[in-house]
Structure 1
Amino acid sequence: MKIAHLGHSTIYLELADDTKIIIDPYIDANLPEMWQANHLKVDYIILTHGHGDHVAGVFDLIKHQQPTIIAVAEIANFFAKLGQKVHGMNIGGGFDFPFGRVTMTHALHTSSLEYEGQVHYLGNPAGIIIEADGKTFYHAGDTAEFMEMDLLGEDYEIDFACLPIGDNYTMGPKQAARCAKRIQAKKVLPIHYNTFPVIKQDPQKFIDLLTDAQGIVLPFGKIYEI
């Protein structure tokens, strides 16, 4: 499993069978052209919730390709009405795709999108567990700390986790570090910080708070393999 952080909460995965997945596309505009939505090829788009800083890139990606969008039912229905291929899921449910298994986990946040002048309520937010290539990957989405994180640590051996640390809209570094311990992740990548002034954070301070997991800060666009 190859992983790249493309800015904010956007994660790109490339699997051994050549399946390409992007999670919450909001791609950093300073990245090379190969990573931009008008050039990047993906087979699946997975969305944790409907806020613009997690779905804005979808509209560019679907202009030149037809990936399958995996999301909670309300988001899936929204994009289905736009003519897109979708696979709707919901919290606690899992599904075996050709590339591996995806499970929707709990997240504490909100989910809506302003589109063509109207605000659309898009169901509950989610976190994502992907089991593929013999690895377990967790993207928490936007979330506060929640009690069920202990169950994630019991039910899964999480090889790599992406946790928001920005505060203000999500949990901050202290809470995220505690969550890393609770989910028993082997490696943790901080996400959802420094994109806007109100979520400015020093990721190294978060990493210094980790007691069990190995913290990693990836330069945007650099491939990391687990």
Structure 2
Amino acid sequence: MKLTYYGHSCVLVEHEGKRLIIDPFLSGNPQSGVDPSSLQVDAVVLTHGHGDHFGDTIEIAKANNCPVIAVFELAAYCASKGAESYGMNTGGSYTFLGFTIKMTQAFHSSSVQDGDQIIYVGQPVGLLITAGGKTFYHAGDTCLFSDLKLIGELHSIDVAALPIGDNFTMGPEEAAMAAQWVKAKRILPLHYNTFPPIRQDVGQFAERLQKLGIRCEALQSKESLEV
């Protein structure tokens, strides 16, 4: 499995020629440097509906004639916009093109801005994506919560992507605790430095993890790692 980071919380997951893109906030993302029209993917997978995660979902799904995989209400919203969609919910798993996608809890909120309306689109989720015997955990936007321990006990996680920006999600100190609870040896920090309210020193976070015996994979946009 190969992971490529596109800034903020967007991660491309590849295995045996198939590609999933998670939370494709690209055209409005000052970090990404990626043109959404250049992407070739087999599915868009969403953690929740906020604009800095939903991003270019509809455009990418239509251009690639591929499904949006999301919690039921958000999938229904995507379908209403003309995109193919597949609805799931917390605790459920779905096997698609060699990937097994499982949705976990995340504690946050979830809505889309549609014109002047804010529309509720179901609860936010984290994602466990397994392929080729490897598991990647994308926590989505979340605070620290005790069931992260259970997620770590139930699954063998190779890489965990955790938000560290604070203000809207957990900050670095709580993310370091989450890293211990999910028992991943490698952590990809997400959701930081995109906007002023979530500025963080990722080097300090990496040092904090190093003291815990955990490796920090602080990727720049378009950088990749093998799982």
TM-score range, shorter chain: over 0.9
Using structure 1 for the length normalisation, give the TM-score: 0.95
Q: What's the CA shift for 1:72?
A: 0.3
Aligned to 1:146: 145
Q: Is 1:85 matched with 2:84?
A: yes
User: Is the Cα–Cα contact under 8 Å of residues 107 and 143 in structure 1 kept in the other structure?
Assistant: yes
What one-letter code is carried by the residue in structure 1 that aligns with 2:183?
Q
Secondary structure at the aligned position of 1:78 is classed as helix
Pick which of 212-221 and 135-144 moved more: 212-221
**CA RMSD across the alignment:** 1.3
Aligned to 2:53: 54
What residue is the counterpart of 2:179 in the other structure? Answer: 180
Q: Which residue of 1 aligns with 2:216?
A: 215
Q: Which digits, 9 at most, give the CA deviation of each residue in 1:35-94, with x for residues without a partner? A: 420111111100000000001121331352222111000000001112211110111111
Q: Which residue of 2 aligns with 1:2?
A: 2
Is 2:101–2:130's contact at 8 Å kept on the other side of the alignment?
Answer: yes
5+ residue gaps, structure 2, are: none
CA distance in 1, matches of 2:213, 2:145: 19
Could you say which residue in structure 2 is the equivalent of 1:115?
Answer: 114
Aligned to 1:171: 170
1:24–1:47 CA contact under 8 A, matched in 2? yes
- Structure 2 contact 31–194 (Cα < 8 Å) conserved: no
Secondary structure of 1:71's partner? strand
* Residue matched to 1:42: 41
- The 2-side partners of 1:80 and 1:217 are apart by 35
TM-score by length of 2: 0.94
What SS class does the counterpart of residue 113 from structure 1 fall into? strand
- Unaligned 5+ runs, structure 1: none
**CA, structure 1 residues 145+22, in 2 after alignment: closer, same or farther (shift >3 Å)?**
same
- For residue 133 of structure 1, report the CA deviation from its aligned partner: 1.5
What corresponds to 2:194 in structure 1?
195
Q: Return closer, same or farther for 1:199/1:30 CA change in 2, 3 Å cut-off.
A: closer
Identity, % of aligned positions: 43
CA distance in 2: counterparts of 1:50 and 1:31, whole angstroms: 19
